[in-house]
Structure 1
Amino acid sequence: MHAIAAIVLAMFLSVTGVMHFLAPGYFRTLVPAWLGREQLLVVVSGAAEVMVGGLVLVTSTRAAGGWAAAILITCYLVSHLDALRRARPDRPRLLERPAGAVARLVVNVLYIAWAVAVAGSAA
């Protein structure tokens, strides 16, 4: 079961990382405006996700990859907390409303827990 969780995490990270290059416009919308440099952040985070996914996939680097994934995904909390700060009940998109922003935050925390579990089980 641990190997399956690690392989699925590796695939998730790798596919999401590649999507940063295939649909950069969407990922730029997730970068808080006050951070600036949206295009650069999307490219760097996409490349990081692909590399970390590779680390998680390889058994000998899985623990390090799991910890790297947890750190990387933790960095995304900035985006989710900013979305929560800007959320309004009258917004048309669910993820821009308070309930949707809270859901994004909870899911992100679960991703962090998943990465930590993979790191811990690989050690």
Structure 2
Amino acid sequence: MAIVMRSKFSLIAFVVFYLVAGLMHFIQPGFYIQVIPKYLGDSSLLNQAAGIAEIAIAIAAVFKTTRTLAGYGTIAMLLVFVIPHVYFIQLGSCAGDFCIPSWVAWLRLLVIHPLLLYWAYAISKNKTKLL
């Protein structure tokens, strides 16, 4: 798996994934704002900050000189994102009209989230040249 995660394809997929994820915070802000607990502060501002962070991570991952920072920044960001993932589960796995089965929300948190953490770590070690 480490070989696959250090490939050029994995790196390109990472950049595209986080670029699209970041843009979605601005395209569909209502969804994200609903899953940010009020006790964290201004949900709109936090949503924008998350979108900017994901876009910045995607850009930083393009360059070998900033890729390690992008990987570790992603890990930090994903750890913070556990809070809205848990909150989403507490909301009954619903954000407005968008609902998923609770088991899917738990799968995202307990399986997919750790895989994303591993992917970010592997990207931080990826020495592939993109540009």
TM-score by length of 1: 0.83
Q: Deviations over 1:27-77 (max 9, x none)?
A: 112212332311000011101110111011112221221111111122101
Residue 30 of structure 1 is matched in structure 2 by: 35
Task: Let me know the Cα RMSD of the aligned residues.
Answer: 2.1
TM-aligned CA deviation for residue 7 of structure 1? 1.6
The number of residues matched between the two structures is 118
Query: Runs of 5+ in structure 1 lacking a partner?
Result: none
Q: Identify which of structures 1 and 2 has the higher relative contact order when contacts are C-alpha pairs closer than 8 Å and 6+ apart.
A: 2
Residue 92 of structure 2 is matched in structure 1 by: 87
Q: Secondary structure at the match of 1:87?
A: coil
Residue 24 of structure 2 is matched in structure 1 by: 19
Query: Runs of 5+ in structure 2 lacking a partner?
Result: none
TM-score by length of 2: 0.78
Q: Secondary structure at the match of 2:126?
A: helix
Q: Percent identity?
A: 25
Q: Deviations over 1:77-120 (max 9, x none)?
A: 111122234437xxx822xx431220220222211111011113
Mapping for residues 86-105 of structure 1, pairs under 5 Å: 86-87=91-92, 93-94=99-100, 97-105=101-109
The CA distance in 2 between the partners of 1:121 and 1:58, in whole Å, is 10
